[in-house]
Amino acid sequence: MPERENKQIVAQSETLRFRSTMEQDLNYVVSLEQAEENKRFIMPWVWEQHREALSNTDIAHVIIEMVEENNVIGFVLLAGLENVHQNIELRRIVIATKGKGYGKKAVQLIKKLAFEECKAHRLWLDIFEYNLLARHLYTSHGFVVEGTLRECYKLGGRFESLVIMSILDIEYFGRSSSVN
């Protein structure tokens, strides 16, 4: 993993920019997680958990902004930046405005950040089994279903299953992998 100064992981495409989350962003982050249209698809954290993540060198907590308008449109959590096996987890992505393609563009930038900047071998995630829209999005980006953790998460009064998906560096780059 490359050295990071002051946890500044920044990535940019033509339309989106990732910048490090700051403490003053956390009220927005928590409110986005608690919104009805989002909280059933994620495992929300409380404010303090997000604050602790800001100083954790194994986690990238980044805000997603539109490049031209400078509007904040969501956030991303990546974990495993210090993983000796070069496995990075896409722990969370939450987009405020749905249906405009921001999620698709953000996943492209996440893959670029993970594989090109952080030198990941594997980028993985878990999603609730019922989140078919997310599964379709990740599949369209080359993620492969690895399996299902059956009824592993208690949500309300019932148990939900998680689907594990990943993409490898050789799939991202489209060539043979070399050990970094």
Residue 150, domain member (yes or no): yes
Residue 1, domain member (yes or no): no
Query: How far is it, in rounded angstroms, from Cα 127 to Cα 65?
Result: 24
Residue 180, domain member (yes or no): no
Residue 39, domain member (yes or no): yes
Query: How far is it, in rounded angstroms, from Cα 121 to Cα 27?
Result: 33
Residue 100, domain member (yes or no): yes
Residue 69, domain member (yes or no): yes
Query: How far is it, in rounded angstroms, from Cα 12 to Cα 105?
Result: 10
Count of domains forming the chain? 1
* Strand 11-12, strand 122-128: pairing: unpaired
For residue 45, give its domain range.
11-173
Give the predicted TM-score (pTM) of the model: 0.89
Which CATH number is 151's domain given? 3.40.630.30
Query: How far is it, in rounded angstroms, from Cα 164 to Cα 36?
Result: 24
User: Distance of alpha carbon 3 from its chain centroid, rounded?
Assistant: 20
Please state, in angstroms and as integers, the Cα–Cα distance from residue 119 to each residue in 35, 84, 172, following that order: 34, 11, 11
Residue 68, domain member (yes or no): yes
- pLDDT (tens, 9 = 90+) of the chain, 180 residues, equals 344 444 465 799 999 999 999 999 999 999 999 998 998 899 899 999 999 999 999 999 999 999 888 899 999 999 999 999 999 999 999 999 889 999 999 999 999 999 999 999 999 999 999 999 999 999 999 999 999 999 999 988 999 999 999 999 999 999 644 444
Residue 169, domain member (yes or no): yes
